[in-house]
């Protein structure tokens, strides 16, 4: 039975062939660590990693490649931003839409460090109202943390408006772009984002074990390094370097991962984010139209393609999420993800928490109309039976 992969919100699959080739080349032919030598292979590694950093900066319009910090996943990036910036007694504003990669670091700071957190509500589509962020501001608000698009509803948040509110209040603005990076254009020259966190293995088409944090100039002065150690630079000093990006990149990099990420970024830059977004939204529209006509199935979140990413969750009257996802996989080869998706508050807000969550379909650049038609046929057959 041919399989149809619709779990790109968890990790993208397949990757471009160039990604597999780059990882294999590193492992078989190169093998040197990043920034730890001057021999020929070490120089080659440094050249690829430098190009990867430049490609990230180009893709997102960062001021300089040095503003791009490599991490080990999106969660690592968010933890660096949150724990590196928020201090005891500070106030943070976030939303009920967030992933546990934001909720759990903030809960830790609440429990240990007397940090206050305000959770802004959303509407029935999963969208927050910027004015609610403004109302939640306090004199001690240090950080506003907001996901760009929900990994449950796919709803894109009004980050430009929220960023302006943050800038006017002198609060830092952190955006979790796990579901939009590589899928939706993001321009840091235009958007008032101070810290942009994202994984490398989802929309950027790199391998697992890669992540990025983009830091706006000036924020390195207040963003502490939460990990200290060898950087291959200033080795004569036992203090952590202050220069970017070394300040935040202690220990050996995931060199084979960065080779793969570099190749994924090359693919994205060649194909164009706008082209990928157009392709994915066409498929999302096909999926939404088909699901909306199935009795007993409810789309959780926006029912149109306006202001959304290619993440579509459903609740079914006849089946628990895990059972429906298992039938889709075992009987039809449709690979989705069921459950709470590490985002409990949005499921509570959408009324799907007690039922165990939703079944989520998530679209990537290599899906096609036949994949969506197969998924819709499977849902219809399961429900009608």
Tokens of 187: 């321009």
Domain 272-384 belongs to what architecture? Alpha-Beta Complex (3.90)
* Beta carbons of 163 and 171 less than 8 angstroms apart: no
Q: Output the pLDDT for position 163.
A: 98
- Residue ranges in the chain modelled with pLDDT below 70: none
Q: Output the pLDDT for position 31.
A: 84
Q: Output the pLDDT for position 270.
A: 98
* Beta carbons of 180 and 203 less than 8 angstroms apart: yes
Q: Where are the domains of the chain?
A: 16-69+222-271, 74-199, 272-384
Per residue in 135-193, pLDDT (tens digit) is 999 999 999 999 999 999 999 999 999 999 999 999 999 999 999 999 999 999 999 99
Nearest partner of 194 among 142, 245, 151, 240, judged by Cα: 142
Q: Output the pLDDT for position 353.
A: 98
* Beta carbons of 341 and 97 less than 8 angstroms apart: no
Q: Output the pLDDT for position 385.
A: 86
Taking each helix axis from N to C end, the angle separating 17-25 and 255-271, rounded to the nearest 10 degrees, works out to 150
**Which whole-number Å values give the CA distances from 69 to 178, 197, 244, in the listed order?**
15, 10, 8
The CA distance from 196 to 152, in Å, is 20
HEC assignment per residue over the chain: CCCEECECCCCCCCCCHHHHHHHHHHHHHHCCCCCCCCCHHHHHHHHHHHHHHHHHHHHHCCCCHHHEEEECCHHHHHHHHHHHHCCCCCEEEEECCCCHHHHHHHHHHHHHHCCEEEEECECCCCCECHHHHHHHCCCCEEEEEEECECCCCCEECCHHHHHHHHHHHCCEEEEECCCCCCCCCCCCCCCCCCEEEEECCCCCCCCCCCEEEEECCCHHHCCCCCCCCCCCCCCCCCCCCCCCCHHHCCCCCCHHHHHHHHHHHHHHHHHCHHHHHHHHHHHHHHHHHHHHCCCCEEEECCCCCCCECCEEEEEECCCCHHHHHHHHHHHHCEECEEECCCCHHHHHHHCCCCCCCEEEEECCCCCCHHHHHHHHHHHHHHHHC
The CA distance from 374 to 307, in Å, is 25
The CA distance from 120 to 258, in Å, is 36
Per residue in 96-111, pLDDT (tens digit) is 999 999 999 999 999 9
Per residue in 213-222, pLDDT (tens digit) is 999 999 999 9
May I ask the CATH class of domain 74-199?
Answer: alpha beta
What is the pTM (predicted TM-score) of this model? Answer: 0.97
May I ask the CATH class of domain 16-69+222-271?
Answer: mainly alpha
């Amino acid at each position: 039975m041919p399989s149809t992969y619709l779990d790109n919100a968890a990790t993208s699959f397949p990757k471009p062939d160039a990604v597999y080739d780059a990882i294999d080349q590193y492992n078989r032919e190169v093998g040197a660590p990043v920034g730890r030598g001057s021999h020929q292979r070490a120089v080659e590694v440094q050249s690829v990693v430098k190009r990867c950093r430049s490609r990230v900066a180009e893709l997102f319009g960062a001021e300089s490649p040095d503003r791009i910090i490599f991490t080990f996943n999106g969660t690592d990036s968010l933890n660096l931003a949150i724990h590196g910036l928020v201090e005891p007694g500070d106030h943070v504003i976030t939303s009920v839409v967030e992933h546990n990669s934001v909720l759990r670091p903030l809960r830790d700071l609440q429990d240990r460090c007397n940090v206050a957190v305000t959770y802004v509500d959303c509407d029935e589509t999963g969208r927050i109202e910027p004015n609610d962020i403004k109302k939640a501001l306090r004199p001690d608000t240090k950080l506003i943390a907001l996901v760009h698009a929900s990994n449950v509803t796919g709803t894109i948040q009004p980050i430009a408006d929220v960023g302006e509110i943050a800038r006017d209040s002198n609060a830092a603005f952190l955006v979790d772009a796990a579901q939009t990076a590589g899928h939706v254009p993001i321009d840091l020259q235009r958007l008032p984002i101070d810290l942009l966190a994202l994984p490398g293995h989802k929309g950027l088409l790199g391998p697992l074990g890669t992540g990025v944090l983009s830091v706006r100039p000036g924020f390195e002065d207040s963003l502490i390094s939460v990990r200290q150690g060898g950087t291959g630079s200033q080795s004569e000093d036992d203090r952590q370097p202050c220069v970017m990006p070394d300040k935040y990149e202690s220990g050996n990099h995931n060199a084979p991962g960065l080779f793969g990420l570099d190749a994924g970024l090359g693919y994205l830059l060649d194909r164009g984010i706008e082209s990928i977004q157009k392709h994915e939204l066409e498929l999302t529209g096909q999926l939404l139209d088909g699901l909306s006509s199935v009795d007993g199935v409810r789309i959780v979140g926006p029912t149109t393609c306006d202001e959304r990413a290619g993440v579509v969750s459903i609740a079914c009257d006849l089946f628990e999420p895990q059972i429906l996802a298992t039938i889709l996989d075992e009987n039809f080869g449709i690979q989705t993800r069921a459950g709470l998706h590490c985002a409990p508050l949005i499921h509570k807000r959408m009324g799907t928490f007690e039922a165990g969550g939703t079944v989520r379909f998530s679209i990537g650049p290599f899906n096609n109309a036949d994949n969506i038609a197969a998924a819709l046929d499977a849902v219809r057959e399961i429900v009608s039976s």
